Amino acid sequence: MPAPMMTTSAEVSWEFMKIIVAIKQVPARDSQLKVAPGGKWIAEDDLTFEINEPDAYALEEALQLKEKHGGEVIALCLGPARAASTIREALAKGADRAIHIEEENVSALDTLAVAKLLAAAAKTEAPDLVLTGLQSDDLGYGQAGVVLAELMGLPHATIIMQVEATGGSLRVKRELEDGWFQHVTMPLPAVLTIQSGINKLRYATLMGIKKAKTKEMKTLSAAELGGTGAPAAALASVYVPQRSKQTQIFEGDAKTAAAQLVEKLKFEARVL
Amino acid sequence: MSVLVIAERTPQGLHKMSLETVAAGQATAKALGVECATAVAGPADGLPGKVYRVEHALLADYTADGFTAAFEQLIREVKPLLVLFPHTYQVRDFAPKLATRFGRVLISDVVKIEPGRFVRQLFQGKLNADFAAASAPSGDAPVFASVQAGAYRADAIEPTAMEVVTFTPQLDASAIRQKPEPPFRESARAVDLTAADIIVSVGRGIKEKENIPLVEELAKAMGAELAASRPICDNGWLPMERQVGSSGQTVSPKVYMAVGISGAIQHLVGMKGAKTIVAINKDPNAPIFEVADYGICGDLFEVVPALTEAVKKAKS
């Protein structure tokens, strides 16, 4: 029989982790986007919305950490009233409770304003760990997590592909460029931005969906959290980009188009 | 009053996007009628003009806390109007934190800079947007922006005599909370996509793993290597080593055929150097058509089998 392992307090695994996951609701991936009259944002009327994909991976990572270490997962979402559907889905997947910072005009806020609201809501919870996706699929600033860490006075790491928590510290695998990775250790509490593909996403079960209806969803207003303040950067106009390259599009049915393309590959690109 | 470009150094040398950002900085400085200077943690070689060489033993290995503290001190000393970064993974890790210290946001991943106007892509490249700093830049609150890969050309740099100024920040080891370990690669790459003449690459449009053989057959008929965009590898439908893009391989084959790939910037940076780009996609507004020479706008489940057939015929 192997000898019992000696453990010091620093090696003891966490028994209870309080994890906040910041999630955002964005237009569904395949949406046909149109610029709204006024040219400041997109027309949202005919769109369907879903959880920002990297945030879905952050939520899954939080749920797996909770399953491993025990604890609580709180979904935190800044968004208009419609975002409640995405929050319910997070609860159905296994988040224990949720905080909805209800604000209609989120697209007009810059990351600093967004992070200030998220930080104000997160601070009162005193979490051990805050997770969020590495960027949003709509505005794509890619910095809410980093700014949130700075505002909360916490260490952070970005583009994370693996999370191990032991004792009071965290060892994560950061993705670098060109297929390189790096492990980084830091003390808890901390903020991580999660890369898509870190884990395998779960679906909500029927039981989960049923349970979600009874879970706590606290709604706060931006004003209750100190307001949005003056922006540091302003979105002046949104427009369809001009094509810089002339693409030759082959029309007709699949067979006709394919034949035209093969002609080009053979005689212009000369690869066939 | 100046534009300050914060260049990035990798173990292999200057990050290739550093010089593109210097080109962006020089062009913007010229338009604003101010000087352009560069700063880098570590050796200054390869950079033109005035270079602040930021020197400290605690900057030998990158950490977000260390770099933020060091460059905050430099910026407070130099007082530039505009601070530009290459939009690299490292910059994404610390520049937003740095901007926050000055009450600013990082206007990230910009494709074009004009005085008072920054152009960024939204919705993964489907739309563009103009951004502006909400208040005028000052020496105490410069504007921060990062420049997208390929947005500016490194060969546009105006050669100027190098003048190196060493800057030594005050850093406290105990204030650096991240402890980094040496970078590593998962395994030796078994597939070298960079050597391929023809690449057929598959994206989300393929919908299910069971449909991958459809594209595999096209690749085989064309004598091409099979590659993929990130979500396909994330799902485990193809191995990670076949991934093209910022986190995978960067390729420049004779022909790159993108099947069901919308063309998010993270993918485009890995393949836009291809000589001929072909896009097959059902969405006529997909950003992949921005870079494509030839395109078929249609259902890949009809187009790909027809194409495989036509290729076989052309080769026989």
Contacts of A245 in chain B (CB under 8 A): 290-293
Q: ipTM > 0.95?
A: no
- The pLDDT score that the predictor gives to residue A221 is 95
Closest CA to A90 of A221, A220, A211, A225: A211
Q: Say what the pLDDT of residue B221 is.
A: 95
Q: Please tell me the predicted confidence (pLDDT) of residue A2.
A: 45
Q: B-chain residues within 8 Å CB-CB of A140? A: 108-109, 120-124
Query: CA-nearest residue of chain A to B237?
Result: A197
Instruction: Find where tokens 């590495």 sit.
Output: A134
pLDDT value, residue A13: 54
| CB-nearest partner of B89 from A140, A146, A159 | A159
Whether the CB of A257 is below 8 Å from some CB of chain B: the reply is yes
Please indicate if any CB of chain B lies within 8 Å of the CB of A8. no
Side-by-side strand order, sheet with B198-202: A248-249, B294-297, B276-281, B255-259, B198-202, B225-228
Asked if A143 and B96 come within 8 Å (Cβ–Cβ), the reply is yes
Angle between helices B212-222 and B300-315 (to 10 degrees): 20
pLDDT in tens, chain A (272 residues): 444 444 444 444 556 899 999 999 999 988 889 999 999 999 999 999 999 999 999 999 999 999 999 999 999 999 999 999 999 999 999 999 999 999 998 888 999 999 999 999 999 999 999 999 999 999 999 999 999 999 999 999 999 999 999 888 999 999 998 888 999 999 999 999 999 989 999 999 999 999 999 999 999 999 999 888 778 888 999 999 887 778 999 999 999 999 999 999 998 888 88
Instruction: Give A 122-141 residues with CB within 8 A of chain B.
Output: 134, 137-141
Is A151 in contact with B104 (Cβ distance < 8 A)? Answer: no
The alpha-carbon gap from B216 to the nearest alpha carbon of chain A, in Å, equals 17
**CB-CB: which of A185, A232, A245 is closest to B104?**
A232
A249 to B296: CB separation less than 8 angstroms, yes or no: yes
Print the SS3 string covering chain B: CEEEEECCEECCEECHHHHHHHHHHHHHHHHHCCEEEEEEECCCCCCCCEEEEECCHHHCCCCHHHHHHHHHHHHHHHCCCEEEEECCHHHHHHHHHHHHHCCCCEEEEEEEEECCEEEEEEHHHCEEEEEEECCCCCCCCCEEEEECCCCCCHHHCCCCCCEEEEECCCCCHHHCCCEECCCEECCCCCCCHHHCCEEEEECHHHCCHHHHHHHHHHHHHHCCEEEECHHHHHCCCCCHHHEECCCCECCCCCEEEEECCCCCHHHHHHHCCCCEEEEEECCCCCCHHHHCCEEEECCHHHHHHHHHHHHHHHHC
Q: Hey, are the CB atoms on B310 and A261 less than 8 Å from each other?
A: yes
Alpha-carbon gap: A118 to the closest alpha carbon of chain B (Å): 15
CA gap B292, B307 in Å, rounded:
17
Q: Smallest Cβ distance to B132: which of A236, A262, A268? A: A236
pLDDT at position B281 is 96
Chain B CB contacts of A179 below 8 Å:
185-186, 189, 240, 247-249
Residue B187: per-residue pLDDT: 67
The answer to whether residue A28 neighbours chain B at the CB level (below 8 Å) is: no
Task: Enumerate residue ranges in chain B where pLDDT < 50.
Answer: none
**Global confidence as pTM:** 0.90
Provide the pLDDT for residue A12: 47
